[in-house]
Structure 1
Amino acid sequence: MRMEDKICVVTGGARGIGEGIVRKFAQEGAKMVFACDMNINEELNKVENIRSVKLDVTDRDAIKEFVDKVVEEFEKIDVLVNNAGITKDALIQRMSEEAWDAVINVNLKGVFNMTQFIAPIMIKKGKGSIISTSSIVGVFGNIGQTNYAATKGGVISMTKTWAKEFSRKGAQVRSNAIAPGFIKTPMTEAMPEKILNSIAEKVPLKRMGEVEDIANAALFLASDESSYVNGQILGVDGGLVI
């Protein structure tokens, strides 16, 4: 059991990639996994070592209250997965300020908010793993996603900064990111098969990734198996970015 005795917090944990990570951590023996999201997933609450929690990553007061309660009960947080994210796509000349601000607030400031409250707890304990979900879009951009690309590129920069910052006094607090490629989720599965096939053709492995692929990457980075991995961006994209 690679997550035995660990207390984990996963944002965007109620569905899709986040839910896959939550379930993977629980299966691997985590003491408790908090699936934080704007919506409660009652199915997750049926699992003994998972709690589905309503939490807005842009609400700093709510984050502080949540983190304080977790530490009061468990005295630590071992793993933080910053996975919450939204998209509001448009070409730059058509992108509204509201769309820009919304994506920045969730995808970038939300990662900052969660990490600012949880990293000090890890540093005090002397150990921890912070994993943030970036994207291949954050590496090479994408038409119509100025806001999204900016946030995912920012996540990469913050990840590398935190890798240096959190361990500078000897704490074994690691910061890494995952950059998924084209992944099958309930959202993408609703797309026409023709479009999905055209997407898969762009990937060297000629297929889209599975949620399980991202969950396995998160498991590695969260576990002690990656104890010497710090400041890295792990591409899980079938070779799309080479």
Structure 2
Amino acid sequence: MKETFLGVDVCTDTYEQLAAKLIEDINHNRKSFIVAINPEKIMKAQEDERLRELLNKATYQIPDGIGVILASIIKGGKIRSRVTGIDMMLRLCKEAAIHGKKIFLYGAKPGVAEEAKKKLEERFPGIQIVGTMHGYEKDENVVKEAINKSDADILFVALGSPTQEYWIVKHMHSLVPKVYQGVGGSFDVVSGRLKRAPLFFQKLGLEWFYRLIKEPWRWKRQLVLPKFLIKAIRE
């Protein structure tokens, strides 16, 4: 089930429901594509028809932003908790370890995906990460060949949004993996190179506020939240 905010679809599924559906997609040889949705992306999609089409092409649009939750509550929808990109990735890693599914990590700076692989192997015993490649390889055929040779079931792409989503849509039907997720800076966080907001802020959906405290120059970007809510309520 999905709700629509200013023309952009968002799934109402929880982590548990999504994890079950994604493992089922792999088992039934179905291609699926996950994209994280937040107010900033929805507002950008108002001026960019191509971006809106891209977001709506995804199989699962996860509500990665407190603004989406607030808009759903105000409009009488069912979305009550965030499904963040990095936590969805980690949940999928956990399920992959349990169900014997293989993972490929593509993107980020040289060395980062390899570091993330080691951390994930420590965290999820038995996980099969069958390949990594940094995001600076210019030859798309080299990238695609490495992914296909790995015979991975799940591909995490860390090229930044929306570049990673455009890349997924362009290539997913000529690649072996079944599940695709654009994960932004998640490899940097998993590898330990980038610090995530403390758990207190995560649980309250206030990671944006933590980033604002750490990086006050971001305040203009945060203005998108009230603008989005006003527009969504008017809709």
Give the structure-2-normalised TM-score. Answer: 0.32
Which structure shows the higher helix fraction?
A: 2
Q: RCO higher in 1 or 2 (8 Å CA, sep ≥ 6)?
A: 2
